[in-house]
Amino acid sequence: MNDLRDFAEYLAGRGVASPEEVTPVIIAAHLRALTEIGLSSKSIARKMSSIRGLFKYIVAEGLLKKDPTEGLKMPKLPSSLPEVLSFEQIEKILGAINLEGPRGLGIRDRAIIETLYGTGARESELINMETGDVYKDIGFVRLFGKGKKERLVPINDSALYWIDRYCRDVRPALKKDKRTPTLFLNVRGGRLSRMGLYKIVKGRSDTAGIEGVHPHIFRHSFATHLVEGGADLRAVQEMLGHEDISTTQIYTNIGKEYLHGLYHKYHPRG
């Protein structure tokens, strides 16, 4: 609403009184004016999206025959590097989990965060994991990614330990008399929701004094720490389930940022 109000004020200033008078040149001039006053590309892209939505509605209602936003290109957004936790921060989060809490939820939450960081699983992949997807004997888990594409990902002994402990001591009480293959359950014995998973991760991280943590940050941290440790990029691509290696290459950039940080911190001329 604020975006469209700004646009309406701009049109009024140019004497434009009806949708029929709006041209691509006028819209482009409005966006250019926003750039000149210092608005970010992200904010301008959002405003452009609002204007497009308005004219799409006007055309759909039959009030206008041609959409003046057709052919206008969105401003190119700068690519930002994903957020990453340090290994020390992850250890701090895991160490702050109260394992003596009610119904063994601390043990469940420890297993969840260990699995997120230990496999680089997406939120949906972790939520949909089943007990049969954990191959403890060979140290792998089966994940189903986008388009239900299946992949096997290595998992470390620590994550396997906490999954095993959760399955033995906590999961039976959570599922009660329900017959469900889902691995990680909520307090009602059902599948976790995305919001439920987010609240678990955020709550445990806030307790450790580390704010702004979300489930996907563990996937970024998993990949970044592998690349920093010298892992082959093709292997990381396979573990993350990326179709295109260019998607995985962003983690080499994060690695460079990390190296720059070390250089500036420890080099005498840094």
> Where does a domain end: 24, 42, 60?
60
- Tell me, yes or no, whether 196 and 259 share the same domain: yes
Residue 172 has a pLDDT of: 96
Q: Which segments of the chain have a pLDDT < 70?
A: 74-81, 254-263, 270
146 is catalytic: yes
| Active-site residue (options: 5, 103, 146, 194) | 146
| Active-site residue (options: 204, 219, 220, 225) | 219
- Tell me, yes or no, whether 123 and 241 share the same domain: yes
Residue 215 lies in a domain: yes
Residue 74 lies in a domain: no
219 is catalytic: yes
Q: What is the pLDDT of residues 53-88, one digit of tens each?
A: 999 999 999 999 999 988 777 666 555 667 899 999
Residue 93 lies in a domain: yes
As beta bridge partners, residue 185 has 191
211, two tokens = 């704010």
Residue 197 has a pLDDT of: 96
Residue 78 lies in a domain: no
- Tell me, yes or no, whether 20 and 133 share the same domain: no
Q: Which sign does the torsion angle of CA 249, 251, 257, 259 carry?
A: negative
122 is catalytic: yes
Residue 81 lies in a domain: no
52 is catalytic: no
- Tell me, yes or no, whether 98 and 162 share the same domain: yes
Whole-number Å distance between alpha carbons of 46 and 50 = 6
- Tell me, yes or no, whether 228 and 95 share the same domain: yes
For the range 234-240, what are the long-range contacts, defined as Cβ-Cβ under 8 Å and sequence gap of 24 or more?
A: 238/151, 239/119, 239/120, 239/151, 239/153, 239/154, 240/120
- Tell me, yes or no, whether 17 and 103 share the same domain: no
- Tell me, yes or no, whether 125 and 258 share the same domain: yes
Q: What is the CATH number of the domain that holds 151?
A: 1.10.443.10
Count of domains for the chain: 2
- Tell me, yes or no, whether 175 and 243 share the same domain: yes
> Where does a domain end: 12, 43, 60?
60
| Active-site residue (options: 92, 214, 242, 258) | 242
- Tell me, yes or no, whether 135 and 91 share the same domain: yes
From residue 22, alpha-carbon distances to 4, 8, 18, 55, 66 in Å are 13, 11, 7, 10, 10
Strand arrangement, sheet containing 134-135: 134-135, 140-144, 150-154
Residue 270 has a pLDDT of: 65
Residue 180 lies in a domain: yes
- Tell me, yes or no, whether 37 and 97 share the same domain: no
| Active-site residue (options: 122, 204, 220, 225) | 122
- Tell me, yes or no, whether 136 and 14 share the same domain: no
Residue 163 has a pLDDT of: 98
Domain with 14, as residue range(s), is 2-60
Residue 80 lies in a domain: no
Residue 78 has a pLDDT of: 55
246, two tokens = 């260019």
Count Cβ atoms within 10 A of the Cβ of residue 141 and give its class: 0-12 exposed, 13-18 middle, 19 or more buried: buried
As beta bridge partners, residue 153 has 141
Residue 44 has a pLDDT of: 85
- Tell me, yes or no, whether 29 and 94 share the same domain: no
Q: Give me the amino acid identity at 163.
A: I
220 is catalytic: no
Alpha-helix runs per DSSP H in 170-232: 171-175, 194-207, 216-228
Residue 199 lies in a domain: yes
- Please answer whether residues 140 and 154 qualify as being in contact, where contact means their C-beta atoms are separated by less than 8 angstroms: yes
216 is catalytic: yes
Residue 204 has a pLDDT of: 97
Residue found under tokens 């704010």? 211
Whole-number Å distance between alpha carbons of 117 and 89 = 12
